[in-house]
Amino acid sequence: MSGDVDASRISPFLLRKSLVRLAEQSDRSELELLDASRGAANWQQRRVLNAWHCLGLFAAHAAAAPAGDGNVALALHPDSCSFAAFARFAAEHQGVPEIADGCGLLACAWDWLAGEVLPGWSRDRIVYEFAEAVAGRRYPDPPTLDFVRPIMSRYLAPLLFGGDADLAGRFRVFACEGATTGITQVTATLARNGVISPGDKVAMWWPTYEPLRDLVECQLQCEVVPIRRDAALGWRVPPSEFDKLGDPALRLVIMVSPGNPLPTVTDPASLDALQAMVTRRPDTLILADYVYMHFLDEPVETEIARLPRNTLGVYSVSKDFGLAGARVGMVLVHDECVADRLLAESATGAECSARRYCRRSADPAHMPLLERMIADSRGISFDHMSGLSTPLQVLACLCACFDLIEPDAPEYFGWVRGQLRGRLAALYEGLGVDLPAWADGPSSRYATTIDLCEVARVHGGDELARRLSEGEVWPFMQHLASRWRVVLTVGQGFGSGEWSVRACFPSVDADQARELGSRVARAVVEHAGAAEPARTSRPV
């Protein structure tokens, strides 16, 4: 990458790579490199991981071997992979704390699933099905395993549906490689089937997660209609912005709640505006990303609960349990989703489906959205090759079981929320700037945007803020990385202000967040106060 950099057009994640290199090559080796540019957590939930790995060890233990060859594991047999066999395995390994801990969660999960979640399934069947899945031995049929939907609907009911288990149970689940992949797969299938076309308009609550902006503008070739939130209103949407929802050219609404880079939720006025939009145009589709929902102090009302037939939801347990690399996501589609009707009524969709799915369905014109997504997810492959790997589907279910049956689950999520709250406070303490108003409201506190001109104003008055704003943000970001070994993401790419940056809290502890804030403040004063503002090389 060379030449001038337009930070509003280039992905902040691409720019980040250049900043990381600058920070790593800095001669300020006495400073710890502080990277808050991404949201991978510096914690994990230990008991869930113990249970998942123990289940894998049990599956390997239960598999027979051919005569004389212990390196080969044969197919599991229900008799050797029963609850009694698991109990013997657990008893034999009680002396290993991690195995004992993991087996304890698994045993509780088997009892709960057999008693409350999977009627008609014995504990033996449950143990066998989970062990087969974690071994990754078979092609999944259906691609999202039978036990995933009833488990995940219970997990999501209090988070997304106001505790309405019946409503949560109306949603089909497609397990996929993370929430962003789920959004991509939904929109790609809608586009392939003529529900979304190049040039259509897509409303997005603004600022928003940059990959979604790229998806709409560059991949779908649609026009983003920003529904702008106002910092002065605690990042709520001013009433005048809702007038944009009256545009009949709008084909889709995309939400992230709680948001990223703004960790605030969809406010009640926005929900009312969406409901009014759906009343006027019942074919409105809403695509909502809820991956940060479990970090709220209390659940809030959501689009998917108020407008279930119009809303396609995505979720991921990866954020909840510090599993960013696992990429465990899911798409939620109501049994009577509006998208299914749009596909059935679309002449373009019928023609497309006849061409695209004719070898994958006996009645391609009437394939619902989820079946088309399953086929599309591997480039029109067979269902059994689609979706998320079976070991990761098991991991998602164990995460849900932990939350639903483990007495220590509230303590774990309380610890996580307390960590994020403390890191947020520490950052603003280091910046010398008041906490934002949203910090005490419904918020995930997973990330924030920092107004660098506000930081300059606090430390040097309007004159320092003026001098900072007369320059360009990219040279400052390079200065921050090379001189102060701090890596953040440029806010412009998310639709935030020119002199804003995003900081994520999962990857830095409170002391690091405080130090990061202090360095940002010193860098602002140093950069804007220089007679000749520092201008370093463009990213390469």
3-state SS, one letter per residue, for 377-395: CCCCCCHHHCCCCHHHHHH
Structure tokens at 12: 């902040």
pLDDT band, very low/low/confident/very high, at 4 (cuts 50, 70, 90): low
Mean pLDDT for the stretch of residues 18-32? 94
Query: What is the per-residue pLDDT for 504?
Result: 97
Question: pLDDT at position 538, please?
Answer: 43
Q: Which CATH superfamily is domain 12-39+410-529 in?
A: Aspartate Aminotransferase, domain 1 (3.90.1150.10)
In the predicted model, what is the mean pLDDT of the chain?
A: 92
Domains 12-39+410-529 and 148-403 share a fold: no
Count CB neighbours of 1 within 10 A: 11
Please compute the mean of the pLDDT values over residues 336-341 and round it to a whole number: 95
DSSP code, position 491: G
1 pLDDT exceeds 90?
no
- State residue 356's pLDDT score: 83
The domain spans of the chain are 12-39+410-529, 46-138, 148-403
pLDDT at 84 over 50: yes
What is the distance between the alpha carbons of residues 108 and 272, in angstroms, rounded to a whole number? Answer: 42
DSSP state of 1: -
Side-chain-side CA neighbours of residue 173 (13 Å): 26
- pLDDT tens sequence across 225-254: 999 999 888 899 999 999 999 999 998 999
Query: What mean pLDDT is predicted for residues 288-311?
Result: 97
* 136-181 pLDDT, tens digit each: 998 888 899 999 999 999 999 999 999 999 999 999 999 999 999 9
Question: Is the confidence at residue 531, as pLDDT, over 70?
Answer: no
Question: Is the CATH number of domain 148-403 3.30.479.30?
Answer: no
Ranges 1-5, 92-96, 326-330, 373-377: which has the least confidence: 1-5
Give percent of the chain above pLDDT 90.
79
pLDDT band at 381 (very low <50, low <70, confident <90, very high): low
For the cut 60, the answer to whether the pLDDT of residue 294 exceeds it is: yes
